[in-house]
């Protein structure tokens, strides 16, 4: 991987990865629809809207590997999600195909499977249960990644990212926390490990309370160093005891599941 592109480089994760990946991939190219406010003199930046297919085609030229973080990172209206996360994602994969890109890391999300219960532990091949329009768009990206892997030979890794942060700040995040340097480890597996065709891995650290079975990532060489359990006592003590949504507390997706919820919760819960 000589020349690596990060899309969505002005976002929270992208901003951190710019610094973390630069020593690993010196020819790093960063892109976003808006110019980062902290752009450094040694950074190569391209301001591109992923909905602009010709611009994306140009962006992908000469690139060996892509870390695709671009798009809307929270729930939005259908039109917002459509333009940023579906049309933009298609343009990125198609531009990569035309340019001969070898590897793509697709930043998926735990919200592509958010309607699984917290009592269950799920693997990468679980039946998807997206919890939002955002989650649906991430599921679309996973499917697109599979298509371009098997049809066009691009090595694709979909990372169902949990909570990317320096530390978990609530009880839910004790299960899904991802330390920044552990994300770098997962990215390097997807970009560099020989034999990658298509993989779905979970973007979490070594969390004792994890809802996700990440054994496939371990098989591929993932050795996370972050652990959420040392934070557990303080996090649990600070957790509010009242005012929580039963829907949010029941499902892995949390408040994404509870937002706009209109089903009969008791009936749905009994069906599991």
Tens-level pLDDT at each residue, the chain (272 residues): 899 999 999 999 999 999 999 999 999 999 999 999 999 888 999 999 999 999 999 999 999 999 999 999 999 999 999 999 999 999 999 999 999 999 999 999 999 999 999 999 999 999 999 999 999 999 999 999 999 999 999 999 999 999 999 999 999 999 999 999 999 999 999 999 999 999 999 999 999 999 999 999 999 999 999 999 999 999 999 999 888 999 999 999 999 999 999 999 988 887 77
Are residues 108 and 138 in contact, defined by beta-carbon separation less than 8 angstroms?
yes
**Whole-angstrom Cα Rg for the chain:** 18
For residue 110, the domain's CATH number is 3.40.50.720
Nearest to 76 by CA among 4, 136, 146: 136
What per-residue confidence (pLDDT) applies to 49?
96
Q: How far apart are CA 108 and CA 196, in angstroms?
A: 17
What is the 3 state secondary structure string of the chain?
A: CCEEEEECCCCHHHHHHHHHHCCCCCEEEEEECCCCCCCCCCCEEEECCCCCHHHHHHHHCCCCEEEECCCCCCCCCHHHHHHHHHHHHHHHHHHHHHHCCCEEEEEEEHHHCCCCECCCCECCCCCCCCCCHHHHHHHHHHHHHHHHHHHHCCEEEEEEECEECCCCCCHHHHHHEECHHHHHHHHHHHHHCCCCCEEEEEECCCCCCCCECCHHHHHCCCCCCCCCHHHHHHHHHHCCCCCCCHHHHHECCCHHHHCCCCCCHHHHHHHC
What per-residue confidence (pLDDT) applies to 241?
87
Q: How far apart are CA 103 and CA 111, in angstroms?
A: 24
What per-residue confidence (pLDDT) applies to 108?
98
Q: Which positions are annotated as active-site residues?
A: 134
For tokens 């926390």, what's the residue?
Answer: 177
Give the number of domains in the chain. 1
Residue 135 domain boundaries: 3-271
Helix 133-152 × helix 88-99 angle, to 10°: 20
Torsion angles phi and psi, residue 105, rounded to 5: -100, 120
Supply the pTM of this predicted model: 0.96
């Amino acid at each position: 991987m000589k020349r690596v592109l990060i899309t969505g480089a002005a976002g929270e994760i992208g901003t951190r990865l710019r610094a973390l990946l630069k020593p690993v991939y010196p020819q790093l190219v960063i892109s976003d629809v808006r110019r980062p406010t902290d752009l450094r003199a040694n950074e190569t930046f391209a301001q591109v809207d992923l909905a602009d297919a010709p611009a994306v085609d140009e962006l992908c030229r000469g690139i060996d590997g892509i870390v695709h973080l671009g798009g809307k990172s929270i729930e939005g209206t259908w039109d917002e999600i459509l333009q940023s996360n579906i049309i933009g994602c298609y343009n990125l994969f198609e531009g990569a195909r035309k340019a001969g890109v070898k590897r793509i890391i697709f930043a998926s999300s735990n919200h592509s499977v958010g309607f699984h219960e917290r009592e269950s532990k799920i693997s990468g091949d679980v039946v998807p249960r997206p919890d939002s329009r955002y989650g649906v768009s991430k599921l679309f990206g996973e499917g697109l990644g599979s298509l371009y892997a098997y049809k066009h030979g691009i090595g694709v890794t979909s990372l169902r990212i949990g909570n990317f942060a320096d530390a978990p700040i609530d009880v839910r995040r004790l299960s899904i926390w991802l330390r920044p340097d552990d994300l770098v480890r997962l990215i390097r597996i997807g970009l560099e490990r020989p034999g990658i065709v298509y993989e779905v891995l979970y973007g979490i650290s070594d969390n004792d309370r994890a809802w996700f079975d990440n054994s496939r990532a371990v098989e591929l060489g993932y050795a996370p160093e972050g652990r959420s359990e040392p934070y557990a006592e303080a996090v649990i003590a600070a957790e509010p005891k009242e005012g929580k949504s039963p829907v949010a507390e029941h499902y892995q997706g949390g408040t994404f599941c509870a937002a706009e919820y209109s089903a009969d919760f008791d009936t749905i819960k009994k069906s599991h």
